[in-house]
């Protein structure tokens, strides 16, 4: 990264001057008379106060963020990206850059129009192009020189205001309505407000110079608030002068009515020209610095990385300025920017909106790292955000929607690139605050209405047992928590290596589209390590309620394995054992067989697991078969009615199948009936029920050898899975 050296601009030259010159812009000269004529004196003062209140609240949020951390190149983009994350910063920063680049063209075209009105023989396009190039050359020379040029423009604006104050009333001057213009008023109040509001949105001009300031932490708050205060005082005085000296018709119909009211009319023209030029200079100084910051953070595509370079000892973005000048010249050649102008205004307001949200969230979360010297209550920041959003819809609802869609598309484009950053942002703090409140809210025993399988997957290395991860992902389906756990030999990893390995596994899962927590532990015996995880892993009452593990085929491990199952059952956890058919895996994922043993035992859990699995997109077309074996035809009819009643009550799409055993054993029926299934669910006996649980599990494991991939299910004791499924309790056999 290129070094960032500040040129040493102070508060007055680096923040106050560009901000106040952008605030005192063309709307003040060309539209303020129209505002007073349509809204009346009190209406105009209300509009000025409301508009400045929104700007003031946003300025307070900017001050809070600016005094918490060093604000480097990029101004608003830098603040947002370091607070709400790179995706949000980039989504706002890219449109903000283009809005500022196109604004250069808007201001120079406005300058050219006013010049042509005075000197009729000139070509407007040529004047706009020449002025745009001259402004670009001024910015390329030095930000400091451009700031000094704005002092002369400020003098011209000050001269025009003095000329207006010392002016005279119109010969036809009459009384101006206090609210509205009575019969002459044809424009609603909020439409007038929407026209005026852009006049007070110049506070970002100083913030965008953050990388060129000697001390941005002090300069930005003082300069920004001083500019807002100065603008408010001037905007409150001008309606008093216009209402006293003008008449409604002249104020509404004559854009340059101030020229007629001034003691020296040409001073107003100097003010108009100075306002347009200062706004153009402010935009061409700010836009390249946003572009430079975007490139340095890697938000722009890699082939545009050269835009992040700086020139000279002051690290000025000359390459970015040349690029911005090219964009502005192209916009000038198009000539008519009226179609996109509302959208550009929306981008500026979107920036204010997000800045307010950033400050509000940071303050609300009370993060220990957020310690601004300029403190603002979170309610003020969020009130400013609501004001920005309301104004956006009042100005142009369609443009607001268009701007929002553009920001959202850029956000997801940046998010898909998975850019890595070296700083934290408020999002993690927000989630931490929500989690801390949620943990206390879910305290207490688990209830059937809100049950979901929070899985602890004893997978070992995920690459070696991916089918187990795939099954767990299908069952959780982003509805529940899933933790992939591995037990390593004691002493094989130190704490640092273990943390690094957890990160590696988490990244591996994420790249394969699996959202899961990862936990590694060490133990001399893997089964003891697994049991320790089951007993200790979790946060408060939020602990895994279901343990998913693979089957074991090693005779020497049966004793330890079965002991683990017994202890997990005693710990009141559901147990899911996956016995994979390595030749078929999950087959075509079209058919799931559940061998029913009653809703009160494992049946309810198996039915719920099959339902959850089918909600996964890969299993969505699977058919669930609910199979029950009876001894004779006499019992078959009643059994089928019971299964149909169960399926209807459970509201789970499944096909009941009642099989008459006759002289066949259950194993024969199982192999014949489920040979074509893609996944088979079988219930397990509770560990204390068989005389020898090890022999029982060994026979169960052997039974699955010739089956498709099979899931053994053992429900936690005394949990009402019948209520989870929503089945009538009488359905059992």
Task: Report the alpha-carbon angle 369-371-377, nearest 5.
Answer: 120
Strands of the 679-683 sheet, one edge to the other = 517-523, 482-489, 455-458, 546-550, 574-579, 710-714, 679-683, 591-595, 623-630, 655-660
Cα→Cα distances 256→174, 252, 266, 638, Å: 18, 10, 11, 93
pLDDT at 20 over 70: yes
Span of 311-315, 367-371, 459-463, 691-695 with lowest mean pLDDT: 367-371
Three-state secondary-structure class, residue 623: strand
What are the pLDDT digits (tens) for 250-271? 888 887 788 888 898 889 888 8
Domain with CATH 1.20.1740.10 in the chain: 11-416
pLDDT at 724: 55
pLDDT at 14 over 90: no
Span of 37-51, 325-339, 543-557 with lowest mean pLDDT: 325-339
CATH topology of domain 11-416: Amino acid/polyamine transporter I (1.20.1740)
pLDDT at 2: 41
Question: Residues 547, 552, 555, 557: is their CA dihedral positive or negative?
Answer: negative
| Segment 470-497 mean pLDDT | 81
Please give the full DSSP string across 44-79, using - where no structure is assigned.
HHHHHHHHHHHHHHHHHHHHHHHTTS---TTTHHHH
Q: Residue 96: which of 294, 275, 329, 360 has the closest Cα?
A: 294
Is the model more confident about 605 or about 207?
605
User: Which distant-in-sequence residues (6+ apart) come within 8 Å of 120 by Cβ?
Assistant: none
pLDDT at 238: 92
HSE-CB for 334 with a 13 A CA cutoff: 14
pLDDT at 5: 44
User: Binning pLDDT at 50, 70 and 90, where does residue 324 land?
Assistant: very high
What are the pLDDT digits (tens) for 174-209? 666 666 655 445 678 887 887 788 788 778 777 766
Instruction: Report d(CA 273, CA 258) in Å as an integer.
Output: 14
Cα→Cα distances 708→462, 591, 666, 699, 711, Å: 22, 11, 16, 16, 10
Q: How many CB atoms lie within 10 A of CB 444?
A: 7
pLDDT at 733 over 60: no
Instruction: Report d(CA 138, CA 132) in Å as an integer.
Output: 10
Residue percentage of the chain with pLDDT more than 90: 10
Q: Running DSSP on this structure, what letter comes out for residue 366?
A: T
User: What phi-psi label fits residue 690: left (phi over 0), alpha (psi between -120 and 50 degrees) or beta?
Assistant: beta
pLDDT at 599: 54
Three-state secondary-structure class, residue 447: coil
Query: Average per-residue pLDDT in the chain?
Result: 81
Is the model more confident about 411 or about 212?
411
Please give the full DSSP string across 459-502, using - where no structure is assigned.
-SSTTTTHHHHHHHHHHHTTSS-EEEEEEEETTSS-HHHHHHHH
Question: Residues 223, 225, 226, 227: is their CA dihedral positive or negative?
Answer: positive
Class of domain 585-733: alpha beta
CATH topology of domain 452-550: Rossmann fold (3.40.50)
User: Which distant-in-sequence residues (6+ apart) come within 8 Å of 620 by Cβ?
Assistant: 614
Identity of the highest mean pLDDT range in 223-237, 329-343, 521-535, 714-728:
223-237
Q: How many CB atoms lie within 10 A of CB 175?
A: 10
| Segment 279-290 mean pLDDT | 84
Residue percentage of the chain with pLDDT more than 70: 87
Please give the full DSSP string across 656-669, using - where no structure is assigned.
EEEEE-TT--HHHH
Domain with CATH 3.40.50.620 in the chain: 452-550, 585-733
Instruction: Report d(CA 197, CA 350) in Å as an integer.
Output: 14
User: Binning pLDDT at 50, 70 and 90, where does residue 145 land?
Assistant: confident
Residue 492 φ/ψ, nearest 5 degrees: -75, -25
Three-state secondary-structure class, residue 523: strand
pLDDT at 236 over 90: yes
pLDDT at 720: 61
| Segment 224-247 mean pLDDT | 91
What are the pLDDT digits (tens) for 346-403? 788 888 888 888 888 888 877 666 778 788 898 999 999 998 898 888 888 888 888 8
């Amino acid at each position: 990264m290129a070094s960032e050296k500040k040129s040493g601009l102070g508060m007055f030259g680096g923040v106050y001057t560009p901000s106040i010159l952008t605030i005192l812009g063309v709307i003040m000269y060309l539209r303020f008379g129209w505002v007073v004529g349509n809204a009346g004196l009190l209406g105009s003062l209300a509009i000025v106060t409301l508009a400045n209140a929104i700007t003031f609240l946003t300025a307070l949020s900017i001050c809070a963020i600016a005094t918490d951390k060093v604000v480097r190149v990029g101004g608003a983009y830098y603040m947002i990206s370091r607070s709400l994350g790179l995706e949000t910063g980039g989504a706002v920063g890219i449109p903000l850059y283009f809005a500022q680049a196109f604004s250069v063209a808007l201001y120079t075209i406005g300058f050219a129009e006013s010049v042509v009105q005075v000197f009729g023989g000139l070509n407007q396009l040529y004047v706009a192009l020449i002025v745009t190039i001259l402004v670009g050359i001024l910015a390329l020379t030095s930000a400091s020189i451009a700031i000094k040029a704005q002092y002369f423009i400020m003098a011209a604006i000050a001269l025009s205001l003095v000329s207006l104050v010392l002016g005279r009333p119109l010969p036809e001057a009459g009384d101006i309505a206090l609210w509205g213009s009575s019969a002459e008023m044809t424009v609603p109040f909020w439409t007038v407000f929407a026209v005026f509001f852009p006049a007070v949105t110049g506070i970002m001009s100083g913030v965008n110079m953050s990388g060129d300031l000697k001390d941005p932490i002090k300069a930005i708050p003082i300069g920004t608030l001083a500019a807002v205060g100065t603008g408010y005082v001037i905007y409150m005085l001008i309606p008093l002068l216009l209402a006293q000296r003008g008449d409604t018709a002249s104020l509404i119909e004559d854009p340059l009515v101030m020229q007629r009211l001034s003691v020296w009319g040409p001073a107003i023209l100097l003010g108009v020209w100075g306002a347009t030029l200062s706004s153009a200079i402010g935009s061409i100084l700010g836009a390249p610095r946003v572009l430079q910051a975007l490139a340095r953070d890697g938000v722009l595509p890699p082939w545009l990385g050269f835009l992040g370079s700086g020139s000279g000892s002051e690290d000025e973005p000359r390459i970015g300025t040349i690029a911005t000048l090219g964009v502005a010249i192209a916009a000038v050649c198009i000539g008519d920017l009226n179609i996109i102008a509302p959208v550009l205004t929306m981008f500026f307001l979107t920036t204010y909106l997000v800045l307010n949200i950033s400050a509000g969230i940071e303050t609300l979360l009370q993060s220990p790292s957020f310690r601004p010297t300029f403190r603002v209550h979170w309610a003020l920041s969020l009130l400013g955000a609501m004001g920005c959003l309301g104004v956006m819809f009042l100005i142009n609802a369609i443009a607001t929607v268009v701007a929002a869609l553009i920001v959202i598309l850029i956000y997801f484009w940046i998010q898909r690139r998975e850019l890595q950053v070296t700083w934290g942002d408020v999002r993690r703090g927000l989630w931490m605050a929500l989690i801390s409140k949620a943990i206390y809210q879910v305290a207490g025993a688990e209830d059937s209405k809100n049950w979901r399988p929070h899985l602890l997957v004893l997978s070992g290395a995920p690459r070696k047992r991916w089918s187990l991860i795939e099954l767990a992902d299908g069952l959780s389906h982003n509805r529940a928590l899933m933790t992939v756990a591995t037990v390593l030999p004691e002493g094989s990893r130190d704490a640092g290596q273990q943390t690094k390995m957890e990160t590696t596994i988490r990244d591996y899962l994420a790249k394969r589209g699996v959202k899961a927590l990862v936990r590694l532990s060490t133990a001399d015996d893997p089964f003891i390590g697994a049991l320790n995880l089951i007993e200790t892993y979790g946060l408060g009452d939020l602990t895994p309620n279901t343990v998913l593990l693979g089957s074991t085929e090693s005779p020497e491990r049966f004793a330890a394995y079965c002991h683990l199952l017994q202890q997990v059952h005693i710990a009141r956890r559901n147990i899911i054992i996956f016995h994979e058919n390595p030749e078929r895996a999950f087959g075509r994922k079209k058919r799931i067989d559940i061998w029913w043993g009653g809703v009160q035992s494992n049946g309810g859990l198996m039915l719920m697991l099959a339902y959850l699995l089918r909600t996964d997109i890969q299993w969505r077309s699977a058919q669930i078969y609910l199979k029950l074996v009876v001894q004779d035809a006499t019992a078959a009819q009643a059994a089928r009615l019971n299964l149909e009643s169960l399926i209807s009550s459970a509201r789970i799409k499944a096909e009941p199948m009642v099989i008459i055993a006759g002289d066949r054993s259950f194993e024969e029926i199982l192999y014949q009936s489920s040979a074509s299934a893609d996944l088979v669910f079988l219930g397990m006996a509770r560990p204390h029920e068989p005389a020898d649980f090890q022999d029982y599990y060994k026979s169960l494991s052997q039974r699955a050898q010739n089956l498709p991939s099979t899931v053994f299910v053992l429900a936690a004791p005394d949990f009402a899975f019948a209520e989870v499924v929503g089945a009538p309790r009488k359905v059992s056999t």
